[in-house]
Amino acid sequence: MCLSFGAMHIGTLVGLRRLNFGGSKRLRTIESALTTVREEVGPLDACSCLYESLPGYDIDPRSKEEHNLSIPLHLNAVIRVKTDIADPHRILDILLDIEARHGRDRSSTDERLHRTLDLDLLLFKNENAESILVNAEQLTLPHPRLAQRNFVLFPLCDIDPDLMHPTEGQTVKELVLRNLKRREEALQQSLANHSSCGNDNINGSAAPYTLDGNLAVPRRCFAPNDKELWTVKGSKAAITDTLRWIGEVMQRYRFNSAGKQEQAEPEFVESLCHLKRLLENEPQTPRLMGVLNITPESFSDGGKYYGNVEAALGHARNLVADGAHIIDVGGEATNPNVQEEIPVEKETERVLPVIEAIRKHVGAGAVISVDTRRKPVAHAAAAFGADMVNDVSGGVSDPNLLSFVASRGLPFVIMHSRGTPKSMDSLANYENTVDEVARFLTEKAILVMQMGLPRWRLILDAGLGFAKTPEHSFEILRSLRELQAKIPNGIPILIGHSRKRFIGAAIKNFHCPTTVKLGEARNSDRDKQMGDRDIAGLAVACWSAMCNCVDILRVHDVKKTALVCSVMEMLVAQHASDPAVDFCALFPGCPCPETRHAVHVSSWVEEDLVNDGYTDCDSFSDAKHREQALVQTSDQSGVIQEESLKDTEGAEKRLKRLKEWRVVLHNDDIHTFECVETAITKVLPHISRARAYDIALHAHTNRQATIILTWKEKASEVATG
């Protein structure tokens, strides 16, 4: 059988209702359509993340002022499907029929932006992987507006960033970058137009529709249940764009912050204000998963809640009150000292009463996860109210668990491990820890997505402490960004470090003698050890917040972690009005394009400050940019002078008079010394080419690096060569 491949856009634009900016009907519609496409067109080959986008007006003939702003935000995704249907017109007919069955009204009176479901065939390749071009009345391939719509390009970039657009002659990644540049220009123009009024561009004072859904950055979402949509790390610009749009809507309808106006539209106002509050409260630090072990054998808290539903329920309430977004209920200990695995029936008996009690008494606001490796336990837990499944074996222990979560659409945590809890320590052998962990997680994620579970229902966990030595675990933590770049884009990362042995190994001098096994230690000794590990583990919480790529922390002491995260929230906060977008944060798996480096240079002769400079340009890596760039310098009198860097020799003579330069680089992806060296090469090519300066890293964070450049006397003769 010859298979063709079709890339399809799935969008749902369900009409606005009270608090309908979460998942609810929109999410059910888009996932139902995905299932139907799999059944009637062909199996999934790839699935993008889920994106929430602003309304787009690309084909609406009316002026801006005539548009109806009281419409919902849209959900969008792209899938690639294998099919034995060779005729794209036949596929279009199937998609139109699926739309109709989901309530799509294609009559002339239908409001375009209130569609229940929108299915578009974007691209089609035949069995020879050749792109099919179609220009017919009912179908155009590639889709005529694909290249201008961020809400389609972003999910398509998740699947294949290097896919060449058949008629544009650019890759999907290049089209995204082109649109991001257009977005930045639109924001800068809007800001310039309104700067004379002294207004903030984010608070809605700008004219309506600064950005619509085509240029605005769509919000990448994870769905922890059927009601909520959480923002995945890297989507800060999307929140900014959405809040700007809300401000413009408020201004258009003259709402105040409380949603009051002369001619009120209650449902519209309430939902919009609710969305605004949700986005303003989106954490920039990781969300917290609180641990609730219903076991007698767990190494850290075994027996505390075993056989006592009331105690477990009380602890669950405390976890939520302390700041937990997820409660992870487990009935099987992964303590390597446990000699035997418990039967499935026993594990089920432990967790079901607790899950049922939490769902009944804590409320629908708590996301409940069941920590299990077994399908029967997950099946029963879901029936009693569990929202997601957390599998420490990554689907290895019971492959049927993968098909179960895929068929039910349950959010699923895939963790890397090897062997069983009893055998895993003997399997901690790696040639390249990060590569091997990333490869396992990627293969499992692709497998379960091809089985039908959408990417927005997946979480990946590197499995710290599972089949890993302490050094392996710390290596993974040090390499979180590298790990993120090696797994599929947009899947949330979970870190489970709490009370693990590698934390204990790092603070071993403060523990009881190592000859005493944890299982043999008295409860007071164990509590002290775990308390020490809780405090030490806060360093991992801080590190995860700084790396800005961890979405969830699984912890025992939620309160302490939440307090630390509240401080880190302020430390990692970014200015909301920055029009630039960090492409590498959005698509860490894509090779980073040429980025802008904002550089502040301070130079000294002897002890005296001679000049300060600032330059900001796209890149100094080629002659065109170098000729256009100017260095602004000021002497002690404050006179500003400009000197073109195209005169490399003249600039070098001036630089040779200076013994030391201190350079501060501002960039969203400066996290290694290699990144710093690359930045120096781009920003100061006349220095790095001749290696006239020794480069020493003075201090750095993930967004800023301070480098001291010391002049090498012997290099002066060749500095201009």
Give the active site residues. 500, 554
- Let me know: does 352 contact 377? Beta carbons within 8 Å: no
End-to-end CA distance of the chain: 62
* Dihedral angle computed from the Cα positions of residues 211, 215, 221 and 227, in that order, rounded to the nearest 10 degrees: 50
**CA-based nearest residue to 390, from 328, 347, 446, 298:** 328
> Where are the strands (E) in 212-251, listed by range?
219-222, 230-231
Following DSSP, what letter does each residue of 80-102 receive, concatenated?
A: EEEES---HHHHHHHHHHHHHHT
For 546, other C-beta atoms within 10 Å of its C-beta total: 18
Residue 495 three-state SS: strand
H or E element, residue 659: none
**CA-based nearest residue to 155, from 243, 235, 42:** 235
The side-by-side arrangement of strands in the sheet containing 608-617 is 640-644, 630-634, 608-617, 597-605, 660-666, 704-711, 693-700
Phi/psi of residue 612, each to 5°?
-120, 145
Residue type, 49: C
Give the span between the Cα atoms of 205 and 247, in whole angstroms.
7
Give the span between the Cα atoms of 702 and 704, in whole angstroms.
6
The encoded tokens of residue 657 equal 């008079």
The position carrying tokens 């139902």 is: 32
- Let me know: does 620 contact 682? Beta carbons within 8 Å: yes
The C-alpha angle with vertex 461 and arms to 455 and 467, in degrees rounded to 5, equals 140
HEC profile for 158-217? HHCCCCECCCCCCEHHHHHHHHHHHHHHHHHHHHHHHHHHCCCCCCCCCCCCCCCCCCCC
- Let me know: does 416 contact 462? Beta carbons within 8 Å: yes
- Let me know: does 538 contact 475? Beta carbons within 8 Å: no
The encoded tokens of residue 622 equal 């080629």
Peptide bond into 142 cis (omega under 30): yes
- Let me know: does 445 contact 458? Beta carbons within 8 Å: yes
Burial 600-636 (b: 16+ CB within 10 A, else e): bbebeeeeeebbebebebbbbeeeebbeebebebeee
Burial 481-519 (b: 16+ CB within 10 A, else e): bbbbbbbbbbbbbbbbbbbbbbbbbbeeeebeeeeeebe
- Let me know: does 385 contact 356? Beta carbons within 8 Å: yes
Pairing of strands 640-644, 630-634: antiparallel
Give the span between the Cα atoms of 521 and 600, in whole angstroms.
56
Residue 51 three-state SS: strand
